[in-house]
Structure 1
Amino acid sequence: MKYAAAVGALFGLATMAQAHMEMIWPPPFRSKHNPHSTDIDYSMTSPLEADGSNFPCKGYHSLIDTAQGKPVAQWQPGQSYNFTIGGTANHRGGSCQASLSYDGGKTWTVIHSYIGNCPLTPTWDFVLPVDTPTGDALFAWSWFNKVGNREMYMNCAHVTIGDGGDRSAASKSAVSDAASFVSKRPAMFVANVANGCSTLEGTDLEFPEPGPEVTENSSNTAGPAGGCGSKNRLKRSAKTFRA
């Protein structure tokens, strides 16, 4: 009986270790929470591959123009929204970012950074910038865990900004708006996916370029290690401190 109990306990720990965390709102591609999913990934909580082979979005961003990739939310610039994270292995938190892509996942622009305690609570608020371009976009939640293996987590959802429309037929004005939006904000931070950049165990990642909107709740931060690059360095124009 003692042997069986020990095996059961070890199995439980292994299951929890594999559970990790996932974005459940807005529902990502192939998520069981996405009403459009027909090919559900039941390992949505797993991190990206260490070799970077399924960056970004675990490779599911390619579904955006399919029946499984229909929009799951419609947002308006300047309004407040949130994303929700679920799971059982939060690795004592870490740091997260919310980002948008308008080119099918080739490039990503940060709209909010969360330094520390992410995702120890399920819901995370942000304001969609007033200059956010309208049209179809990919929304991404990315996370660098505080303890455990050095990993990057990322889930992506298809959202419509404004009244929608086909960005492939965008006017020169819309293209210019998108370029302006990107130039004011940093690119998504990427690490732990065989790109020469890594995060440090036991600390909350201090994003080198968090962007103008930051929520910070950590007394133990550290920057990344390795060749992490530099782009669009910005000073923080806003901070929110959680109790």
Structure 2
Amino acid sequence: MFLLLVSQVFAHMALKVPCPRYNANGVKCPQIPDGESWDWTQVAPIGSADEVFQPLCKYTKPFKTPSARWKAGETVTVGFQGAAAHSGGHGEFSISYDNGKTFMVLQQELRYMFFGTPTKLTNTPRKLKYSIKLPENLPGSDNAVFAWTWVNASGNREFYMNCVDVQIIGKAGKITGKEITVVNYGPYTQMLPEFYGDYDTGIDIYSNARNITVTGPGNESAFVIMLNPDGAQSEDGKIDEQGNRDSDNDDTDDEGRDGEDNN
């Protein structure tokens, strides 16, 4: 049983920083909702080409407080855990303003997710951090959902997804971009086959994704400039840590700020 649990914890890949919903291995995770349990199998896929294992985001009930506070226009860094990168594949980072019903793509990492360059058949990831430039006109919201999705290049045909509750500091408004691509997620979605070295496999599906418009209510007044004891100004970008759990030390900022890519 112990060996099975260890294999589940470290197989495949998952977001770690900022803390996704219920990730037992996440960093500075907020307090879990009442009645929910920490998940030690975040690296597992949410579905395969034949079956849906879990809903989009894995969990639909958000944390009691956001895992991160980001500001429109800034660059944020996210970090991953795992030991089975399945030779890369297509990844996307996206944002939702309706608790995970609709996701608009912020950044694509197509072909070589976790590697950055073409690779041979391997499970060992070479890249575990990604920097994401948030659009200047990204609408603000106290209850936004940031998501990572991934379709692996080799192995069983699966679909992976983790979601992070975030506060986006910005104005009210709309933004238009591509809708996330969902494949290999049950028999009613398109099946993307193994790449077998052809990393253009499925690129047309991602390129032809429809454009959608999402709307955020705004909260720009929530961005507070505070004074340090020595009189220097600093941005109040930290969440209340009461009830948070810090399961690991990581050289990425707890909220995904100011990290560097691990090339």
TM-score for both structures, normalised by structure 2: 0.64
Equivalent residue, structure 2, for 1:189: 181
Equivalent residue, structure 2, for 1:52: 52
- The answer (yes or no) to whether the contact 1:198–1:225 under 8 Å persists in 2 is no
Equivalent residue, structure 2, for 1:126: 132
Q: Shift of the alpha carbon at 1:230?
A: 4.5
Where does 1:95-174 land on structure 2 (aligned, <5 Å)? Answer: 95-119=90-114, 120=125, 121-135=127-141, 136-162=143-169, 174=172
Greater shift in the superposed pair: 34-43 or 127-136:
34-43
Q: Work out the number of aligned pairs and report it.
A: 189
Greater fraction helix = 1
Equivalent residue, structure 2, for 1:5: none
Q: Shift of the alpha carbon at 1:117?
A: 2.2
- The answer (yes or no) to whether the contact 1:69–1:158 under 8 Å persists in 2 is no
Which stretches of structure 1, 4 residues or more, deviate above 6 A after TM superposition? none
Q: 1:124 aligns to what SS in structure 2?
A: strand
Which stretches in structure 2 are left out of the alignment for 5+ residues? 115-124, 213-261
Q: Shift of the alpha carbon at 1:53?
A: 5.3
- The correspondence for 1:232, drawn from 195, 198, 211, is 211
1-structure distance, mates of 2:10, 2:132: 29
Equivalent residue, structure 1, for 2:192: 199
- The correspondence for 2:201, drawn from 222, 226, 239, is 222
2-structure distance, mates of 1:203, 1:24: 29
- The amino acid of 2:210's aligned partner reads K
Greater shift in the superposed pair: 44-53 or 99-108:
44-53
Structure 1's 161 and 230: CA in aligned 2 closer, same or farther, altered over 3 A? closer
Equivalent residue, structure 2, for 1:42: 40
Equivalent residue, structure 1, for 2:84: 89
Q: 2:137 aligns to what SS in structure 1?
A: coil
Q: 1:140 aligns to what SS in structure 2?
A: strand
Structure 1's 116 and 17: CA in aligned 2 closer, same or farther, altered over 3 A? farther
2-structure distance, mates of 1:187, 1:29: 22
The structure, 1 or 2, with the larger RCO (C-alpha pairs under 8 Å, 6+ apart) is 2
Q: 2:177 aligns to what SS in structure 1?
A: coil
- The amino acid of 1:142's aligned partner reads T
- The amino acid of 1:110's aligned partner reads V
Q: Deviations over 1:35-56 (max 9, x none)?
A: 4247211111100133335231
The alignment status of 1:21 with 2:19, answered yes or no, reads no
- The answer (yes or no) to whether the contact 2:93–2:146 under 8 Å persists in 1 is yes
Equivalent residue, structure 2, for 1:79: 74
Structure 1's 57 and 203: CA in aligned 2 closer, same or farther, altered over 3 A? farther
2-structure distance, mates of 1:16, 1:106: 28
Q: 1:191 aligns to what SS in structure 2?
A: coil
Q: 1:117 aligns to what SS in structure 2?
A: coil
Q: 2:7 aligns to what SS in structure 1?
A: helix
Q: Shift of the alpha carbon at 1:229?
A: 7.7
